[in-house]
Amino acid sequence: MNYSLLPFHSKRIGLVLCIALSAILLSVSQGELKTWQEISWLDIIGEGGVAVLTLVWLFFLFVSRPPGRVTDMLVLGLSCFMFSALLDLLDEFIRQSSGHWLSVVESIPAPFGMIMMTWALYQWHQEQLTLNEQLRRREAQSRQHHQVDWVTRLYDADYLREHLAKQLQASHSLSVLMLDIDNFDQFNRRYGSQEGDRLLREMSELILMNIRQSDLVCRYAGDRFIILLPDTPRATAITLSAQIKESIRHFAFKTFGTGEAVFHTLSSALVSAVNTDQVEPLLQRLNRQLELSRQGS
């Protein structure tokens, strides 16, 4: 759970608390407490469970989504439902006169909230369709989120090795591209590791924007990335590599605080794999080619 999102929802959390408090004050001010014998504990368990679970859903919403229109609709819809649920629960403790107007107030917010949540969930579904399209550039045939690199949100070297082994068996023209950020260690020393991690994340997004749906990019190690280009002849892979390197060269990374623009370049190595290749020797070949490329530049 992303607790760092909570500060961005301070106003929404305040709204939820105000709505809950208004339900309590409204119910208490308009009735009188029931005797112990009049209370139905079975109803309290059921209705209280609904109210508590609504608050739990709101909590998970706050730690799962950033602020936005869909988030606002979900919060408002759940808050309306919570308002009705709390009034329903408080009815078990507080006696209202028959035909009291509060019963009408209790019944209106819940259906309104359900309608709003239904529309918000539809909008969330549309968001997920868009995100899934983007995820296709990050993933291969399966989602193994325990193998995701926590800095770049790309898959890690273990996932790369597994998928590379499958591609070597299945693809007749697999190109494997290795990219390395030039002078990344100097950038880290000057601006700090947090800025270095942010640079890696933003470069990962930029690389993703420049690959095809069928390609897979992973973080291999440090500032080194590997892109698998299935069914890709060498000439096409060279063109894709040049396009990625050109986009990185024009990327003005703004450092935190000063906003200074820092530009970077990439070194690269490319191997055209065949079915007889093995994973580790192929990766070693890529590393050697990259080091030779850097020495020759």
Q: What is the pLDDT of residues 196-215, one digit of tens each?
A: 999 999 999 999 889 888 89
For residue 145, is pLDDT > 70? no
Nearest to 168 by CA among 272, 241, 286: 272
- Write down the pLDDT at residue 246: 95
- Model pLDDT, residue 229: 92
Comparing C-alpha atoms, which of 126, 11, 4 is closest to residue 72?
Answer: 11
Give the predicted TM-score (pTM) of the model.
0.58
Task: Determine the pLDDT at residue 76.
Answer: 94
pLDDT of residue 137: 60
Taking all residues of the chain, what is their mean pLDDT, rounded to a whole number? 85
Element (H, E) at 268: strand 266-273
**What per-residue confidence (pLDDT) applies to 132?**
67
Per-residue pLDDT reduced to its tens digit, 266-288: 999 999 988 788 999 999 999 99
Mean local confidence (pLDDT), 66-70: 88
Measured CA angle at 65 (ends 64, 70), to 5 deg? 140
Higher pLDDT, 105 or 216: 216
- Count of beta carbons in the 10 Å neighbourhood of residue 76: 19
Alpha helices in the chain (DSSP H): 10-29, 41-62, 69-90, 101-107, 109-135, 157-170, 184-191, 193-209, 234-249, 279-296
Q: Please compute the mean of the pLDDT values over residues 56-83 and round it to a whole number.
A: 91
Region at 133 (left for phi over 0; alpha for psi -120 to 50; beta for the rest): alpha
Task: Give dist(CA 243, CA 217) in Å, integer.
Answer: 15
For the ranges 36-45, 49-58, 95-104, 123-132, the one whose mean pLDDT is highest: 49-58
